[in-house]
Structure 1
Amino acid sequence: MTQTIFSPEPHRGWLPWAWLSPVVCILLVAFSSVPFDFGLEWIGVIDAKGQPRSAFGFCLNLLLPFAAMGAAVWVWSRFVERRSIATLGLIGAQRLRKHLAGLAIGVGMMALSIMSIWLAGGYVGKDVLPAFSSPTSLFWIAVLLPCFIFQAGVEEFIFRGWLLSTATRRWNLTAGFVASSCAFTFLHFSPHQPVREIIMAFTFGLFACAWTWRAGSIWGVMGWHAGWNWIAGVGFAVPITGFDLHLPALIVQLTPTGPDILTGGPAGPESSVLTIGLLAAATLLLLIWPRGLSASTQGIPAPGRDTTTQETI
């Protein structure tokens, strides 16, 4: 019997098998985004290593390739799988409230992780509120927030909206978690990266899947992902997934001084063992938290919606 985690509306087209769905995801993302990656490098806003040369370049990098990815996945779901948008996690009431609550939680969790690394001796603090001395920097910090909201929203739509629900419909919830997290990890892989960064990407994917399952939609996790990315880059001027925003810190300028295993190294605090531990603990909490104690207004620990044969992980 078909399982669903969002709307139970039936699909009228072809769903890829659970094992094939990550491959379809990787191909859709790669073929849609690569032309824009080369284009941004050609016009000079991205260097040969894929690093944006300025805040403006970073904004373009968050908008253009991700717009193409989102469009490719939507076209596939609409014309191949023939599914409604509600079956992709864009469903439910109080959508803005859930998104804003997720945004606040994302900011809080990343700030907690960075502060923990700082207290453990991984960072040295320098200037406080340095961005406020530069109106131009404040402008770009503000502009980056909606850009991160868009980028994170597209990623969650692809991995936790479409891929998680596709593999779940094709097999079961466990298959959905594994397929989504494996594809997410593969697309964040780079040669010679530490194993720690691979573990981090997979743990991040599991946490986002757990949130999505408990909430029954992707509104909250879209906000969480955006807040997580934005505050890391602009709040403390540390790398976010290996990218430098080229802006002074909004809160405190931090300089890494500890070992990479603590600070995350060039990848930034996301790859710290403390951050991995935080996400692992949060994932476990979402999976085992009693449903009767849900904080439904945050869109987090409500049980998966409209599941014909619900199973836990």
Structure 2
Amino acid sequence: MIPQWLTHNRLYDLVRSGQRLTPWWAVIPVGLFIAFGSQLFALPIVFMLFLAGIIPTTEESALAQPPLVSGLALTIQLMLGFGVMILCTWLWVRLYERRSFATLGFEPGRILFLYGRGLLIGLASFAATVGLLAPLGYIAIEDSDPAQVGLAALGGVVLVFFPGWLIQGAAEEILTRGWMLPTLAARYRVWIGLLISSLFFTFMHALNPNLSILAMINLALYGLFGALYALREESLWGICAFHSIWNWAQGNLFGLEVSGQMVSGGMIFNLIETGPDWLTGGAFGPEGGLVTTIVLLFSMAVIWWWPTTRQRMSTPPVTADHAL
């Protein structure tokens, strides 16, 4: 049985509040331009930081920098590239579809509750992946420079999260789950929005190093999970928080690779996967292993069958006349 929140959703009403909906043949090209064009915007400044020796090129050079320095470099990269992604998505929605930023899933009300709950669920979900590997003996503590781990790295760890990962996680959610998913679902079919937004999210990571078939499957599963999470809450606050702290927990809390990439800024714990790559994810990080597949499938099952305790009150959609 298909739940009502999947077919009749506040996020669809918000999309319809604009003067026009983006057609299917334009959604993917516009999404590609926003996703990859925004990253090009950051290249000149990243190149300058590279020439200045602030951005490390190898893991050894990253570990030679104080966590505050490497954390600042990572934060600048995340803020530039993904901040522009948020800006470009908003400009398209504002100038073409003629609706406000709030209609991307950021309506006021229960913000602290939804965002705080997203942080807790995201942290618990990623901790579960580590918790599944540890009893099997597939997680170990890696020898590292004491200056890069624990309290000595706390300044860099916090700096990267605020605002680095907060912007990065929100940007990908705004583009795929805030704009692409409800736009396609409202104009065509729900399954079209779920499928295309999830596959697009996977394609956004196609150039990441050490990408495997299982990693691509997990990225698509995460895209589907994110869509169900956003639709169930009828908001983007929670899934933005989930996404941000999931990435932060991988790299800066547990010291693991984030979607195949080394993370700067230090770490609270420096762990390493020691088991088979198909289970642990290997060089791609836990997102490339079967343990993350299990966590994501379980999480989606919880969202799907979680009992509905109340129906959200129907309120008039935000009109284009009130667009910011």
1:208 lines up with 2:214 in the alignment: no
Letter in 2 for 1:98: L
**CA separation in 1, counterparts of 2:308 and 2:265?**
42
Matching residue's letter, 1:174:
W
1: CA distance, partners of 2:141 / 2:124: 19
Large movers: runs of 4+ above 4 Å = 45-49, 130-136, 302-308
Report % sequence identity.
Answer: 27
Equivalent residues in 2 for 1:1-313, closer than 5 Å: 5-6=10-11, 8-9=13-14, 10-18=16-24, 20-44=26-50, 45-46=54-55, 53=62, 54-126=70-142, 136-146=152-162, 147-190=164-207, 193-246=211-264, 248-250=266-268, 252-292=269-309
Report the TM-score, using the length of structure 2 for normalisation.
0.81
Give me the whole-angstrom Cα distance separating, in 2, the residues matched to 1:18 and 1:4.
Answer: 20
Partner of 2:66: none
- RMSD over aligned CA atoms reads 3.1
Aligned-pair CA distance for 1:57: 2.0
Distance 1:210 1:131, change over 3 A: farther
Partner Cα distance (2:148, 2:201) in 1: 36
Q: Summarize the Cα distance change of 1:305–1:69 in structure 2 as closer, same or farther, 3 Å threshold.
A: farther
Q: Distance in 2 between matches of 1:305 and 1:18?
A: 28
SS at match of 1:202: helix
Contact 2:139–2:275, Cα closer than 8 Å, also in 1: yes
**CA distance in 2 between partners of 1:306 and 1:181 (Å):** 28
Describe the superposition over 1:226-246 as per-residue Cα deviations: whole angstroms up to 9, x where unpaired.
Answer: 111111112221111122224
The answer to which structure has the higher helix fraction is 2
Which residue in 2 is equivalent to 1:299?
none
Distance 1:134 1:98, change over 3 A: closer
Q: Structure 2: how far apart are the matches of 1:304 and 1:107? A: 30
- State the SS of the aligned residue for 1:40: helix
TM-score (structure 1 length as normaliser):
0.84
CA contact (8 A) 2:194 2:224 kept: yes
Q: Output one character per residue of 1:25-84: Cα deviation in whole Å (capped at 9) or x when no partner.
A: 1122212221313541343055679x9953222112211100111111100000011122
Q: Distance in 2 between matches of 1:236 and 1:124?
A: 11
